[in-house]
Structures are given as C-alpha cells and as structure tokens.
Amino acid sequence: MTEYTLQSRWVRRGGRLEYYGMRRREYLFRNTVRLGPRRRRIIGRLPSELSCAEISALGPLFGTAVVAKEEYRPVPRSLAEARFCRTCPANDFMIPGLELDEEGICPMCRTADDVKRLRSVVPLVSDIPRSGGSDFDAALFYTGGKDSTFLLWWLAVKKKLRVLAMTWEIPYMSDSARASIENARKRLPNVEFISRKVPDGILRRVYRKLMDETGTTCLCPSLAYVLFYPEMTARHIPCFIAGNEPVQALGLYYNHMAPKAAYSFADNRFFSFVINAGRVMTFRPPLKRGQFHTLATMRTLVRGESLPQRLSGYSNPLVRSAVEALREAPELITPLKKSLRESSASGNIPAFLAVDLDEICGGRYDWEKVKDTIVEECGWAAPEGGKKLLHTSCSIEKCKDYFQLRNFRECRTHMIPFSAIEISLAGRGRPEDREKLIYEEEKMLGFAERPEEGCELMRRYVDGV
C-alpha cells in the first residue's frame, strides 16, 4: 500500500490548509483551502495510507496538497540544490514552494503578459510642472543608491527641476552610499540636500520592537516618511517622487500585497469623485492627483492598516510590523499626526507620485546603462567592486534577505522575500542577463548563507555596544 503525506509548504491551520509559496499560473494566489469535517479528519491523520473513498473525498487536493511520500519535494538547502525556472533566475531555494509548470517555467514568467500594464500603485507622471508656491518643484527620498541617484539626476538635470533631496541617515548606511551622496551634492548644484538622524535612544526602542516582530530592523521607507512629511508640508512642496525601480512595484502584486485594481486606482474617476465629494461635504478642499495616496500612506503609519485592507486579504506584513514598532516612538509620531491633520484640512498635501523608469530609459531600465550614467554624471560610487545591482545603499541588506527568507521558509509569514521576487522579475524576458543575476543571487544577496557580519553589526547597534 502507498503511504500519503502533505506536500511540502502545505500547512494545516485549524480548519484550513495554507500554502507557503508561489503556485503555478492557474492556481496563483489560491493559497488557502477550507476543509470540511471529512477532509479535516483525513488530513489530520497524515502521513498514512488512504482508501479509494478517502482519495475521492480529497478531490483536487489529491495530487497537489496530498501526495505519495515518494513525490514529496523537500525545500532545497542551497542554490546548488534548487530547481530554477528555465527562462529567469527564479528558483525554489530563494522562493520555497515556487511551482514550475511542465515546461519548467515559473508563474512570474507565465503571467508576464497578464501584468504588463501594472506599473505603479501610485500615480505615474512623465512631466512635473514648476511650482509657483514653493522654492521646490519636487522632493525625493534620497538614499545614495542606484535607483534614487538616477531619478535625482533625471529630475535635476534632464527635467531641470528644483529638487529637495531628503536623506534619512540610517545607522547601517553603506560607505558607497555616503560617498555617492557627497559626490551628488558637488555635481548637482540646483539640488538642496538635507539629512535627518533619529536619536539613537529612540531608534533603538523602535528597532527592538521591530526585531521582536520580524527578526530584522528594516524600516525603510516608513521612517523616512515619518521624518520628512512635516518638513515637506512646512516647505509647501507640491509632490514627492518615488524612486523605486519597476520590479519593486510589480513585486507587490506577486507577493499578494496589491491587487490589480490598486495599479489603476489613481485613474479611477468614480472613486475620485466619491472621495472628493466627502471632503467637500466636510469643508475640506478636494484632493489633487496623488494626494489621496499620500494621506493613505501617512494615515496607515499612524493608525495601522484600514479595515478594508485587512478584510480584502491584501495586506502588508512589513507595514503592520513598522506601525507597531513606530508606536514605541511617540516623539516621532506626534509631529506626523499634527502635520497630517493640518495638511488634510488645508489641502497642503505633497502628492505621492512615481516616474516610470522603464519609460524614461527608452523602454527598458537597464541596470548597467543606468550605472554608467550616474557614475559619469553624479560620481556614483558602486558597492562591492561594482558588481552588486540590487539594493546598494544599506550595509546590512543581506540581513534583511536572510531574515525574510528564514521567516518564510519556516512558514511564519506568507510574505515571500522581496529581493527574491525582484531579481526574478528583473531577469524575466532577458535571457542574456540570467547568468549575471544568478551570480548576484549567490554572491550579493543574503540567501546563500547567514550574513554574520551584517547581523552582528545590527545586534551591536540595537544593544548599544
């Protein structure tokens, strides 16, 4: 007789089964199955032999969630053991539970045509007008990394805008990021650079809480929003621009944190009418494009995720953890609350906007060409010998990768490590880049081994050593 078991990455949680992974195209996001009493009894005694009647009762769960023991797929312990997508760098070590179809293709590659219109969850703009009511036309959260440096150069040099570059000095800022910021300061005279630092005592309280929640101390960009929103409203800055590359925006969809509707919400006239009608009825000015996204972002940091977000199934565990951690620092949240009330009442709300980096690069955001541009134009300093391509401004980025993978691997969260999705999407449809990106997965990200040096740096800061 054959003995059957739950396939790896399927976990029973009370009266339901949950899948921790990324399923093939036809089942994408169908990660929860509610169990009736009979199925619950059958699954509750696995591993075991099953009768024909029990196999029939399992229905579509048989062969997917319930398999013969010899069909059980253990999670690889290293990239060397991983199954890779045939056309991109996605693999089931970095994304445990990644399902490949019969042709060895991952769901991200299979759904490329389905998501080609999903470019940003905040309004996209190609032109930013000059502001008559402020000394600045736009603000930018500037980390010294590749993406924010390129966007800063594009805004200040190509578009000739007056830009306020805002830097939160994280304790783990890489040496290359510091050098890049200093060089950009010298090369871009029409940009005003400001930086803010959270007092160590306050930041350690926040970090300790965050470590209890997630095991890591990544608070970007949430804490930057908290620090700089009051400043932007005080300076009457009309908008601030997101500096994320396209794969980061699309990663929210594949991580089941943003539905397709979120990518077109900014252009939905009906919802805009309803929202603004409510504001007018409460004697507040109607919102301009991008201002709703600003208010929603800042209110989430103050109050937590809204009830519709929680009920919809689209939720961001990183944001939830950040909100809980920030409550340890009323010194930071109180000024944000005050500024948020005043700006919502007056309409002095900097619009949250994004620039399509693919579009401004002629159709493709080519990492190597972008690096060449910012090295020449801004004096950008490349990290780690110039080979690292993803997330270049933080010296403990590997720690974030490691802890996100550990939490997902151990089924503590449904959130797939961001870098794993982003680097896979970066290689989608670009076979010429596949080997280069696999090299980055192995050598530059925090998935291949425990990043002891960065983790120790993080622990020492939090402990005040």
Please give the model's pTM, rounded to 2 decimal places.
0.91
Cis peptide before 221 (omega within 30 of 0): yes
The structure tokens 């192995």 sit at 442
Report the pLDDT value the prediction gives residue 386, as an integer from 0 to 100. Answer: 55
In this predicted structure, what is the pLDDT of residue 294?
Answer: 96
How confident is the chain (465 residues) per 10-residue block, as mean pLDDT? Answer: 93 94 94 94 93 94 94 93 95 96 96 93 90 92 93 95 95 90 94 95 93 84 94 96 84 92 90 93 94 94 78 73 92 96 96 92 86 94 67 78 91 93 90 85 78 74 80
Strands 138-141 and 48-49, sheet pairing: unpaired
What pLDDT sits at residue 455?
A: 77
**Packing angle, helices 200-214 and 452-462, rounded to 10:** 130
pLDDT digits (tens, 9 = 90+) for 19-42: 999 999 999 999 999 999 999 999
pLDDT digit string, tens, across residues 377-427 = 999 998 865 555 566 678 788 888 888 999 999 999 999 999 999 999 998
pLDDT score for 194: 97
Rounded-to-integer distance, Cα 31 and Cα 99, Å: 12
Find, among 217, 220, 236, 242, the residue nearest to 154 by Cα.
Answer: 242
- Dihedrals φ, ψ of 305, to 5°? -65, 145
Q: Quote the CA–CA distance of 242 and 255 in Å, as a whole number.
A: 19
- Assigned token pair, 247: 């794969």
Contact by Cβ (8 Å): 87, 11? no
Query: For the chain, what are the domain ranges?
Result: 1-74, 124-360, 381-462
Structure tokens at 335: 């000024």
Nearest to 180 by CA among 145, 223, 212: 145
Q: What is the distance between the alpha carbons of residues 249 and 284, in angstroms, rounded to a whole number?
A: 31
Q: Residue 448: what pLDDT?
A: 67
> Is there a contact between 174 and 395 (Cβ–Cβ < 8 Å)?
yes
